[in-house]
Amino acid sequence: MNDLISQLQSLVGAAHVLVGGDLSAYELDWRRRQHGKAFAVVRPASTAEVAAVVRACAAAGTPIVPQGGNTGMVVGSTPDTSGTQVVLSLQRMQAVRDLDSANLTVTVEAGCVLQSLQERAREAGLLFPLSLAAEGSCTIGGNLATNAGGTQVLRYGNTRDLCLGIEVVTPQGETWEGLSGLRKDNTGYDLRDLFIGSEGTLGVITAATLKLYPLPAATLTAWAAVPTMEAAVQLLTMARRKLGAGLTGFEVMGQFALSLVARHYPQMRVPFVQDSPWCVLLENADHESEEHARAQFESLLEAALEAGCATDAVVAENIAQARQLWHVRESIPLAQAEEGLNIKHDISLPISSIPAFCAETDARLVREIPGVRLVNFGHLGDGNLHYNVQAPEGGDAVAFLREREHAVNDLVHRQVARFKGSISAEHGVGSLKVDSLPTYKSAVALSMMRAVKRALDPANLMNPGKVLRL
Ligand code: FAD
Ligand code: MLT
Ligand code: ZN
């Protein structure tokens, strides 16, 4: 084993092989659900170095856990507790290799932080639309590996839809340079799409070619109080009709989720939180002008108030106000973390079923799990709810999770299956949901997934124990 350490040191430099000391930034997941123990943390600076590290680990039979910003929600990016797994951090690989304005593409290394890429695109007068609250620290490699969603999916799609090509180091340490910027290429199986969403279990993504878009002339944000989840869905239907492709964001937030923001960040102004069981944040991006976008928004909100699907509404006057509204929404996961350990359900459902799902599942949870607190928010425009559960007020969250997590997950996941939804809309499977997957995914699908994993990674060295058990 010490041979491997010295080999890794000679490949990437001793300063970039971390052993011992406080490695919690790499070993502890964002949600503090599991503190693993790494054999070493290795930080290569180039694709060639990644390939050499992977070859050395493969020869030693040492498993690898690829890691970007370590912001994942399902304990996918941290090692297990055995002390035998190498964490391969892509954080030093941040270069933007190429930006092609005419082709509307950018080629970027996997460790590039999402926000840096957004800024780089904006400097070129273009838009990279992926957006999520972790954008200041999550990386493009992690976004691709989890097929991240975020707040612009209803207009631009998930990360998969934004990717035209990738570069991958295989579990054997070979490099596949698939950085095509082509929008059409039907030359066989789509290997790119196999790696997107594979959560580090099939290889290491080292770079990608991604789509860019023209910047809209104006982007406006509105916040509406809505009386019920049915009303929120009705408002979504109206917004789609009236705004068309201009509708770029539609987020729903339950009163308790917002009250956690008000409680933990009292300096923030949370509109309508006392007055309404639900709030909705809408975004309208317009390619004509701000006046046009504002007139469209005002007409939509007037119609919504008249129809009773909104009880109050405001359109942000300027960019600073819009940012404040988004900041409230994006602070919900952080406020929830401040409130204590919690159970997350990142679920998707047919949008039409969401009101009935919530009514039934809320009632069952409240009845069957005494004192339970529901933190419900999410990307309603994509049919994706973060249907989360917080321990009873003042209770011992660790004990609550130990005693109740299984029952809570079982209840919610069965309800999701009953309404024909998915138990993971955007966060992935990681190790948190690996044992639930066989209950909710068809045996045929799982057997094809295992066949792919065995074909590409026969020694099971790439992020073992995540997504699938072999
Ligand atoms: P990591 O957490 O480091 O890794 C995630 C997974 O990808 C792991 O399985 C890891 O092994 C693998 N991986 C990482 N890099 C590579 C690579 N280069 N090659 C191969 N595999 C790799 N997610 C959403 O989808 N939508 C949201 O709205 C959203 N909001 C969030 C808000 C907050 C506050 C936080 C903390 C997280 C949020 N997330 C969200 C979850 C998370 O940020 C995303 O999943 C993100 O894409 C992970 O990127 P990362 O670089 O941190 O990856
Ligand atoms: C979000 O939409 O804010 C995230 O996916 C994070 C979460 O679910 O907590
Ligand atoms: Zn989300």
> Is the minimum distance from the CB of 249 to ligand 2 under 6 angstroms?
no
CATH of 2-89, one of 3.40.50.200, 3.40.640.10, 3.40.109.10, 3.30.43.10: 3.30.43.10
pLDDT in tens, 261-314: 999 999 999 999 999 999 999 999 999 999 999 999 999 999 999 999 999 999
The answer to whether the CB of 149 is under 6 A from ligand 1 is yes
Query: Does ligand 2 have an atom closer than 6 angstroms to the CB of 386?
Result: yes
CA of 71 to the centre of ligand 2 (A): 11
The Å distance, Cα 327 to ligand 3 centre, comes to 14
Atom of ligand 1 nearest to the CA of 151: 28
Q: What are 318-324's contacts with CB under 8 Å, separation 24+?
A: 321/221, 322/219, 322/220, 322/221, 324/268, 324/269
Reply yes or no on whether the pLDDT at 187 is more than 90. Answer: yes
* pLDDT per residue as tens digits for the range 370-386: 899 999 999 999 999 99
Sheet holding 64-67, edge to edge: 17-18, 38-42, 85-89, 64-67
Ligand nearest to the CA of 428: 1
Give the residue, out of 386, 387, 389, 412, with the most ligand 2 atoms within 8 A of its beta carbon, to mutate for a pocket test.
386
For residue 387, which ligand has an atom nearest its CA? 2
Q: How confident is the prediction for the chain on average, in pLDDT?
A: 97
Residue 26 Cα to ligand 1 middle (Å)? 13
Any alpha helices (H) in 331-436, and if so which ranges? 332-339, 354-368, 397-418
Q: 145: CA distance to ligand 1 center in Å?
A: 7
Are 182 and 68 spatial neighbours (Cβ–Cβ below 8 Å)? no
Residue 1 has pLDDT above 70, yes or no: no
405-427 average pLDDT score: 97
Number of neighbours of residue 403 by Cβ within 10 angstroms? 11
Considering the four listed CATH numbers 3.30.70.2190, 3.40.190.10, 3.90.1150.10, 2.130.10.10, the one that applies to the domain covering 218-333 is 3.30.70.2190
**Ligand 1 in contact with 131 (CB < 6 A)?**
no
Take atom 7 of ligand 2 and give the residue whose Cα is closest: 333
Separation of CA 244 and ligand 2 centre (Å): 25
What is the rounded distance in angstroms from the CA atom of residue 195 to the CA atom of residue 191? 7
Check whether 465 has a pLDDT greater than 90. Answer: yes
Residue 186 sits at φ, ψ, to 5 deg, of -105, 60
Q: Are 313 and 275 in contact (CB under 8 A)?
A: no
Q: What percent of the chain has pLDDT over 90?
A: 98
* pLDDT tops 80 at residue 249: yes
| Tokens describing residue 321 | 């106000």
CATH class, domain 96-214, is: alpha beta
Q: How far apart are the C-alpha atoms of 23 and 41, rounded to whole Å?
A: 8
Instruction: Evaluate whether 154 touches 141 at the Cβ level (below 8 Å).
Output: no
Residue 73 has pLDDT above 80, yes or no: yes
pLDDT on residue 11: 98
Tell me the per-residue pLDDT of 24-64, one tens digit each, with 9 for 90 and over.
999 999 999 999 999 999 999 999 999 999 999 999 999 99
306 exposure class (CB count in 10 Å sphere: 0-12, 13-18, 19+): exposed
Which of the 8 DSSP states describes residue 353?
A: G
CATH topology of domain 340-418: Alpha-Beta Plaits (3.30.70)
User: Which ligand is closest to the CA of 253, given by its number?
Assistant: 2
Measured by CA distance, the residue closest to atom 9 of ligand 2 is 333
pLDDT for residue 2: 78
Domain ranges of the chain: 2-89, 96-214, 218-333, 340-418
pLDDT of residue 237: 98
Asked whether 60 and 461 are in contact (CB, 8 A), the reply is: no
Same fold, 218-333 and 340-418: yes
Measured from the CB, is residue 67 less than 6 Å from ligand 1? yes
Cα of 216 vs centre of ligand 3, distance in Å, is 23
- Which residues, 6 or more positions from 263, have their beta carbon under 8 angstroms from its beta carbon? 335, 339
Burial class (CB in 10 A: 0-12, 13-18, 19+), 240: middle
